[in-house]
Amino acid sequence: MLTIKALNKTYANGVQALKDVHLQIPTGLYGLLGPNGAGKSSLMRTIATLQEPDSGSIHFDGMDVLQDKEGLRRQLGYLPQDFGVYPKVSAEDLLNHFAVLKGLTQRAERKEMVDGLLQQTNLWEARKRKLGTFSGGMRQRFGIAQALLGAPRLVIVDEPTAGLDPDERNRFLNLLAEIGEQVVVMLSTHIVEDVTDLCPRMAMIVKGEVLLQGEPQAAIELLRDKVWRKRISKAALPEYQQRFNVLSSRLVAGQPQINVHCESQPDEGFVQVEPDLEDVYFLKIRASQSSAAASL
C-alpha cells in the first residue's frame, strides 16, 4: 500500500503543482488521470524521490519514503514521460548495463533476469538490434523492461502510451496489466480509455488537486440517466454552451455532437446515453474551471 497525505509542492516560479494531495494506492494498476499540466508528473517525481515536497508525507508498506529515499529506490521501477537511450547500443547490452547499475552483479542471475524481461516485453527477437532502430512502442517496452530490473514492488509509469499506434498501445497496456497483478503500478495519463479499460482504482487530478478517487465504474454510475446527446449545427454551438452544461463536443460527419449533463431532458431532440469516464472527466474539469473563475 502506498499512502500519501497532505502533499504540497510549489515551484520557485510560484506555480503550485500539488495542493493537499491525499491518496491510498493498493496493489494493482492505479490510474492517475488529468490533463497536461495537471500535476501528475510532479506527483510522480515526488513519489519517486526525485524532488522534495514542501509538506506532507509518503509511506510505502510502512516505510517513510521521505526519510528513507534509498530504501524506496531499491523497491522502485520508474518510467518517466521522456527518457533517453543510447541509439547505437543493442537492447540486450543496455539492459545488461542497467542491471549492473541496479546491483545485479552475479552474471548468471543478471542474465536470467535480462533474458526474462526481454521475453516478457516481447523484445527477445529484437534484443540484438540497436535501440536507434526501435519504433516508439518498442522503446516504451524497453523502458518498462529497465523499470522492472530488480523486481520492484512499486512501478511508476508517466504518460506511457502517448504517441503509440493502437496496436502498440494495446500491447503495452496488456503488459502493464500483467505486471499489476503482483505489485503497485501507478499509471499517469491524460487518455481516459487507458484508465477505463485497465484500472480497478483511479484518481483524477486537475491543477494539483485531487477532484475524485475510487473505482472508475462507481464514478460513472453517479452520472447514470444524467447524460444527454444531440447533433446540432456549428452556428448553434455557442448558444448551447451558454444554456446547458456541455460536457464535450465532437464533430461527427462534419456536425457538432454534444454531450450535456442534466437531471432531465434538457431540450427537444436530446436523447439519453450511457455515461462513460470521459463524461465524468469533463464534468469534473468544467466544475473546477467554474470554481476557479468564481474565486477571481
Helices (H), 125-254: 136-147, 166-179, 192-198, 216-221, 237-243
pLDDT of residue 295: 54
Query: Are 230 and 255 part of one and the same domain?
Result: yes
pLDDT of residue 213: 93
* pLDDT exceeds cutoff 70 at 185: yes
Identify the CA nearest to 53 among candidates 22, 11, 103.
Answer: 11
User: pLDDT averaged over the chain?
Assistant: 89
Percent of the chain surpassing pLDDT 90: 61
Q: At which of 149, 184, 216 does a domain end?
A: 216
Average pLDDT for 231-236: 92
Q: At which of 184, 216, 248 does a domain end?
A: 216
| More confident: 272 or 141 | 272
Helices (H), the chain: 40-47, 69-73, 91-101, 107-120, 136-147, 166-179, 192-198, 216-221, 237-243, 277-295
pLDDT of residue 294: 53
The angle at the Cα of 119, spanning 113 to 123, to the nearest 5 degrees, equals 115
Q: Which amino acid is at 11?
A: Y
C-alpha distance across the termini of the chain, in Å: 38
Burial class for 67, CB neighbours closer than 10 Å (0-12, 13-18, 19+): exposed
Please check whether residue 126 is in contact with residue 137, taking contact to mean a CB–CB distance below 8 angstroms: no
Q: Work out the angle between the directed axes of helices 91-101 and 136-147 (0-180°, nearest 10).
A: 30
pLDDT of residue 136: 82
Please check whether residue 197 is in contact with residue 207, taking contact to mean a CB–CB distance below 8 angstroms: no
* pLDDT exceeds cutoff 80 at 164: no
* pLDDT exceeds cutoff 90 at 245: yes
Q: At which of 216, 250, 281 does a domain end?
A: 216
The angle at the Cα of 248, spanning 245 to 253, to the nearest 5 degrees, equals 130
Q: The domain spanning residue 279 has which CATH number?
A: 3.30.70
Query: Are 57 and 91 part of one and the same domain?
Result: yes
C-alpha cell at 75: 523497491
Query: Are 170 and 287 part of one and the same domain?
Result: no
Query: Are 28 and 136 part of one and the same domain?
Result: yes
Across 41-45, 113-117, 286-290, least confident range: 286-290
Average pLDDT for 264-268: 92
Please check whether residue 27 is in contact with residue 183, taking contact to mean a CB–CB distance below 8 angstroms: yes
Query: Are 241 and 176 part of one and the same domain?
Result: no
* pLDDT exceeds cutoff 80 at 84: no
Q: Report d(CA 167, CA 203) in Å as an integer.
A: 26
* pLDDT exceeds cutoff 80 at 69: yes
Query: Are 122 and 35 part of one and the same domain?
Result: yes
Q: Which residue(s) pair with 23 in the sheet?
A: 4
Q: pLDDT, tens digit, for every residue of 194-231? A: 888 889 999 999 989 999 999 999 999 999 999 999 99
pLDDT of residue 196: 86
pLDDT of residue 293: 53
pLDDT of residue 292: 59
Please give the helix or strand (H or E) that residue 9 lies within, else none.
strand 2-10
Average pLDDT for 142-164: 86
Q: Report d(CA 65, CA 85) in Å as an integer.
A: 28
62 Cβ neighbours under 8 A, 6+ residues apart: none
Q: The domain spanning residue 131 has which CATH number?
A: 3.40.50.300
Domain range holding 43? Answer: 2-216
Band the pLDDT of 184: cuts 50, 70, 90: very high
Q: pLDDT, tens digit, for every residue of 107-118? A: 999 999 999 999
* pLDDT exceeds cutoff 80 at 142: yes
Query: Are 157 and 274 part of one and the same domain?
Result: no
Q: pLDDT, tens digit, for every residue of 252-261? A: 888 899 999 9
56 Cβ neighbours under 8 A, 6+ residues apart: 4, 5, 6, 7, 8, 18, 20, 21
pLDDT of residue 25: 94
What is the pTM assigned to this prediction? 0.85
Q: How far is CA 148 from CA 91, 116, 122, 144, 246, in A?
A: 14, 11, 14, 6, 42
* pLDDT exceeds cutoff 80 at 105: yes
* pLDDT exceeds cutoff 60 at 288: yes
